[in-house]
Amino acid sequence: MRHFFSALLLSMLCAVGVAQQQMKEEPIKNPMLWADVPDPDVIRVGDTFYLVSTTMHLMPGAPVMASKDLKNWETVGYIFDKLTDSPKYDLAFSLPLEDQKGEGVGTVYGRGQWATSLKYHDGKFWALLAPNEQGSMGDTYIFTAPKAEGPWTIHTRLRHFHDATLFFDDDGTPYIFFGTGEMCQLTRDLKSVVEGSLRHYFQREEEERGLLEGTRVIKHRGTYYAMLISQAYGGGLNRREVCYRTKDLNGKWEKNVILESPFGGFSHLAQGTIVDTEEGDWYGIMFQDRNGVGRVLTLSPVRWIDGWPMLGDESYRVPDIMRPYKTGQPTKKIVLSDEFDDTKLALHWQWNHNPVDNAWSLTERPGFMRLKTSRVVPNLYLAPNTLTQRMEGPACSGYICMDLSKMKDGDCAGLSAFNGDSGVLTVKKNGKKWTLEMSEQNVTLTEREKAVTKVDEKVIETIDLTTLLNAKQPKIWLRLDGDFRPNGRRGGNDAANFYYSLDGEQWTQIGTKNYRMIFDYRRFFMGTKFGIFNYATKKVGGHVDVEYFKYSCEEK
């Protein structure tokens, strides 16, 4: 009997310990991901949630992230390594626009991969995406993979479907929902559209003055739900998420607004999806524009009210915090430090456009990222092999240590707050002289081709490094701090500050204080990124070795 009570007491103490651990568990704080993760689609397979997002001109593309608890996310793969339909993806044309010929003229800034749809069906993962381009560059891709991490292969290509979602009905019949209330049926092999199936399943009401796009479709208890972002700004309406539902795909659809909420000192948010847990609870994941950092993700509870998936708390607002869906999960991040001690590039990095594969290496000097010059270009915006990571709120900091000893005359290497308007730290080699510049750079792109026609560069401060560097092993540390905390005036601070060091310990600020990072949908259409670069302006053959990237982020 004494053993029985001892066991009972031990069991009670363990239960108290578990309860205390759950009470100590940090809540999920919104934004769930305070980084540029737009156009989300989220599914659950077993006990794991998978999320895809838009990264446009960055390669590899269509990142897949995974989480067990809707709080800790990590990048587990990409749907493709490169897109190769045009030299635009390679930044291959660096001549002035008037000297360029052919269909490959331009870049894919703000284009490339958009609004990927993710599904799991018949034991396979499926992904659908359509670049926002003209002609064959805008074809819809359907990829498939045995697991979310890949490898992914192209299953088929179809005509362009804007902001589309793939949907499998209960009997396996595939559909595409796209645009503003359009849909079609696919053949069972997903290779073509069923003839005569293209139709509008709803007509936009007069109050909807903008596009209804970003479609996501689920089926729940026999009812089909199509969720779309509404850009209705007039008549007292705000950006919002609307939902259309029906029990018959060929029948009439009815509409309801399922989220119309500002959040965190910024404007109203929408576009995303809802997903269930193993226990049958539902969550909504929507993005919000937050200027310089990009479009961030929020998490909301979903309450089924009169058969509608209503997002938000009891006041129909996105909550500041939520209790963890699942406790005890290890901390995961999508932006990370890197010692460059692996032979493969870590999944948290992406290149600006397709990289030149033989112009970077993690093995030629183990423990370093070697960035070689491979093409003479006039500016950063046409430079191949710029290596990027997201920046994060509320505030973050990243710095690199770079060996400059193999730079050639005319080479430019450094660290930037990379976007259509960029704050840039550039080490320049001119003959036997080294200088460090902090500059503000602004790119002008043509509307259709996204060709670089002009880069305005304003040098704010220059440091002569020639006598400051170690002549035998010239190294420099470059740092970029980002502050995206709301300030109540324009939404967020969006401030970048720049520093350099000659020993990695003592830092000196340089150039513009509180450089203003912006979001511009007409050019890059993305949040500001850390960008590590090296390019040649006179002759190729030089390189820099980046020893590490050290990153830290202030807790929300």
Q: What percent of the chain has pLDDT over 90?
A: 86
* d(C-alpha 34, C-alpha 11), whole Å: 40
Mean pLDDT of 84-98: 75
Residue 3 in 3-state DSSP?
A: helix
pLDDT at 459 over 70: yes
Domain for residue 28, yes or no? no
Q: Which amino acid is present at 364?
A: E
Q: SS3 of 16, please?
A: helix
Q: Would residue 249 count as lying in a domain?
A: yes
Edge-to-edge strands, sheet with 295-305: 272-276, 282-289, 295-305, 308-311
Residue 307 near residue 245, CB atoms below 8 Å: yes
Residue range of the domain that includes 430: 350-553
**Phi/psi of residue 430, nearest 5 degrees:** -125, 105
Task: Give the type of residue at 147.
Answer: K
Number of domains making up the chain: 2
Would the pLDDT of 196 be above 80? yes
Q: Per-residue pLDDT averaged across 477-499, rounded?
A: 89
Is residue 405 pLDDT above 70, yes or no? yes
pLDDT confidence of residue 10: 37
Q: How many CB atoms are closer than 10 A to CB 153?
A: 11
pLDDT in tens, 296-335: 999 999 999 999 999 999 999 999 999 889 999 999 999 9
301 shares a domain with 186: yes
Flag whether 483 is in a domain: yes
Domain CATH number, residue 73:
2.115.10.20
DSSP 284-309: EEEEEE-GGG-EEEEEEEEEEETTEE
Per the omega criterion (within 30 degrees of 0), is the bond before 384 cis?
Answer: no
Taking each continuous run of H as one helix and of E as one strand, the counts in the chain are 1, 38
Query: Mapping DSSP to helix (H, G, I), strand (E, B) and coil, where does residue 10 land?
Result: helix
Are residue 285 and residue 371 in the same domain, yes or no?
no
Tell me: do 288 and 377 sit in the same domain.
no
How high does pLDDT run on average in the chain? 92
Position 189 in a domain: yes
CATH number of the CATH domain containing 477:
2.60.120.200
Predicted confidence (pLDDT) at residue 14 exceeds the cutoff of 70: no
- 55 lies in a domain? yes
Tokens of 2: 């004494």
Whether the model pTM is above 0.85: yes
Mapped onto helix, strand or coil, the DSSP state of residue 90 is helix
Q: What is the pLDDT of residue 365?
A: 98
Q: What angle do CA 143, 62, 301 make, to 5 degrees?
A: 105
State whether 507 and 451 are in the same domain: yes
Distance CA 318, CA 218 (A): 21
My answer on whether 307 and 380 are in the same domain is no
Confidence label for 471 from pLDDT (cuts 50, 70 and 90)? confident
Judge whether residue 35 has pLDDT over 90: yes
The pLDDT score that the predictor gives to residue 360 is: 98
Does residue 97 lie within any of the structural domains? yes
pLDDT at 548 over 80: yes
Confidence of residue 104 (pLDDT cuts 50, 70, 90): low
123-172 pLDDT tens trace: 999 999 999 998 889 999 999 999 999 999 999 999 999 999 999 999 99
Instruction: Find residue 364's DSSP bridge partners.
Output: none
Tens of pLDDT, residues 267-300: 899 999 999 999 999 999 999 999 999 999 999 9
Determine, yes or no, domain membership for 334: no
Same domain membership, residue 220 and residue 271 = yes
Burial 52-70 (b: 16+ CB within 10 A, else e): bbbbbbbbbbbbbbbbbbb
pLDDT band at 12 (very low <50, low <70, confident <90, very high): very low
Is the pLDDT assigned to residue 11 strictly greater than 50?
A: no
| 419 is a domain residue | yes
Q: Is the pLDDT of residue 5 over 50?
A: no
**How far is residue 98's CA from residue 309's CA, in Å, rounded to a whole number?**
53
**What confidence score (pLDDT) does residue 20 get?**
40
